[in-house]
Amino acid sequence: MTLPCTRDPEAWFPEKSHAWAATRAKRICNTECAAVAACLAWAVEHHIKHGVWGGRTAEERKPAALTLEVIPPAPRKYKVRLCGLDGCERKHHSNDLCNKHLLQARRAAA
């Protein structure tokens, strides 16, 4: 698959005085390119300041940077509980003890 921007790379970096050239490049991106979303995401992620990327000029990519921010991790479904013994900072396994203290308690009971 040949991307449209590889045929004539200079067409995607028009001078500011040639607004019609940017319009042409954007139209080709949005109609002929299968990688337009990935291209836009890459340009926003790498803060590219020149050229038409993902069917948008540098000015049009600024609002896109706001929508492509990193999604925060989902909140935990449960609260992490620590071992019930004083001074132990490990996560508990069962019976409110961490694995180490649970095994020690089982050995002592045997």
Q: How far apart are CA 107 and CA 98, in angstroms?
A: 14
Q: In terms of pTM, does the model score above 0.95?
A: no
Separation in Å, CA 30 to CA 40, 44, 70: 11, 17, 25
Question: What percent of the chain lies above the pLDDT cut of 70?
Answer: 79
DSSP class per residue in 38-73: HHHHHHHHTT--SS-BTTB-HHHHHHHHHHTSPPPP
Would you say residue 18 has pLDDT above 80?
A: no
**93, exposed or middle or buried, with CB in 10 Å at 0-12, 13-18, 19+?**
middle
pLDDT in tens, 51-101: 999 888 888 888 755 565 555 666 666 666 777 777 777 776 666 777 777
Higher-pLDDT residue of 2, 27: 27
Q: What is the mean pLDDT of residues 8-17?
A: 81
Q: How many CA atoms lie within 13 A of 78 on its CB side?
A: 5
DSSP class per residue in 68-90: TSPPPPPPPSS---B-SSTT--S
